[in-house]
Amino acid sequence: AQTVTQSQPEMSVQEAETVTLSCTYDTSESDYYLFWYKQPPSRQMILVIRQEAYKQQNATENRFSVNFQKAAKSFSLKISDSQLGDAAMYFCAYRINSGYALNFGKGTSLLVTP
């Protein structure tokens, strides 16, 4: 079974600073997808960024970027120039290429302070 581990239950960052959220996963598959989802309080979960395992280049989306280390099975999320609106739960998720269900980690609660 594939597992996703987020070792940081909570993280805090000051506005305009940079923060990195950690994620590791366990799989025997060679082809898969990795995702970071954001879940604001009492609001729906939305996709932040995705990474295809076959791509060596790290994905970036504006202020969000990932550090994908396939051999180490590590997939961290870097948020640059943090904003108050970034405060939320962040979930790392994994999906094998041939399947559809996402496997989620337990999440990291990000607090952004002024």
Partner 1 sequence: EAGVVQSPRYKIIEKKQPVAFWCNPISGHNTLYWYRQNLGQGPELLIRYENEEAVDDSQLPKDRFSAERLKGVDSTLKIQPAELGDSAVYLCASSFGHTNTGELFFGEGSRLTVL
Residues that bind partner 1 (CB under 8 A): 4, 33, 35, 42-47, 50, 52, 91, 93, 95, 97, 100-107
18 or 30: CB nearest partner 1: 30
77 or 93: CB nearest partner 1: 93
Least distance (Å) between residue 12 CB and partner 1: 17
Other CB atoms within 10 Å distance of the CB of residue 97:
12
Tokens of 71: 């051999």
Q: What is the largest CA-CA distance in the chain?
A: 43
16 or 47: CB nearest partner 1: 47
Query: Of 109, 113, 103, 114, which is closest to residue 35 (Cα–Cα)?
Result: 103
Least distance (Å) between residue 4 CB and partner 1: 8
Least distance (Å) between residue 16 CB and partner 1: 29
Q: Do the Cβ atoms of 25 and 4 come closer than 8 Å?
A: yes
Say which DSSP state 86 is in. G
